[in-house]
Structure 1
Amino acid sequence: MKRLIAGVVLGVGLTAMAHGAGDPAAGEQNAAVCAGCHGQDGAKPIMGTYPKLSGLGEKYLYNQLVDIKSGDRAIPEMTGLLTAMSDQDLQNLAAYYNSKDMVVGQANPDLVEAGQALYRGGNMASGVPACAGCHNPKGIGNEPAGYPALGGQTAEYLAKQLKAYRAGERAVGSNAAIMMDVASKLTDAEIEAVASYASGLN
Structure 2
Amino acid sequence: MKLIAPLLTTAVLAFSSVSVYSATDAPARSAKPDLVKGEASYTAVCVACHNADGNASIAINPKLSQQHPEYLLKQLQEFKSGKRKDPVMQGMVAGLSDADMLNISAWLASKPGKLGFAKDKEAVALGERIYRGGLPDRQIAACAGCHSPNGAGIPAQYPRLSGQNADYVSKTLHDFRDGKRGNSLQMTGVTAKMNDKEIKAVSDYIAGLR
* Shared fold per TM-score greater than 0.5: yes
**Separation in 2, partners of 1:140, 1:57:** 9
Q: What's 2:52 paired with? A: 40
Q: Which residue of 1 aligns with 2:193?
A: 185
Where 1:98 maps in the other structure, the secondary structure is helix
Separation in structure 1 between the aligned mates of residue 49 and residue 111 of structure 2, nearest angstrom:
16
Structure (1/2) with the larger helix percentage: 1
Is it true that 1:195 corresponds to 2:189 in the alignment? no
Question: 2:134: which partner in 1?
Answer: 122
Against the structure 1 CA distance between its residues 112 and 92, is the aligned structure 2 distance closer, same or farther, given a 3 Å change threshold? Answer: same
The structural deviation recorded for 1:76 is: 2.0
Instruction: Output the CA distance in 2 between the equivalents of 1:83 and 1:186.
Output: 34
One-letter code of the match for 1:131? C
Corresponding residue number in structure 2 for 1:6? none
Unaligned regions of 5+ residues in structure 2, if any?
Answer: 1-27
Q: 1:11-30 maps to which residues of 2 (within 5 A)?
A: 21-30=32-41
Which has the higher relative contact order, 1 or 2, with Cα contacts under 8 A spaced 6 or more apart? 2
How much has 1:95 moved relative to structure 2?
0.7
Based on CA coordinates, which of the two structures has the bigger radius of gyration?
Answer: 1
- Deviation at residue 57 of structure 1 after TM alignment: 1.0
CA contact (8 A) 1:120 1:137 kept: yes
Taking structure 2 as the reference length, what is the TM-score of the superposition?
0.81
* 8 Å contact from structure 2 (residues 63, 165) kept in 1: yes
Distance 1:124 1:51, change over 3 A: same
Structure 2 partner of 1:63? 74
> Displacement of 1:185 after TM fit?
1.1
Match of 1:11 in 2: none
Q: CA deviation at 1:84?
A: 2.2
The question of whether the paired residues in 1 share the 8 Å contact of 2:53 and 2:65 is answered with yes
**Alpha-carbon distance, 1:77 to partner:** 2.0
Q: CA deviation at 1:71?
A: 2.2
- AA aligned to 2:85 is A
TM-score (norm 1): 0.84
What does residue 8 of structure 2 align with?
none
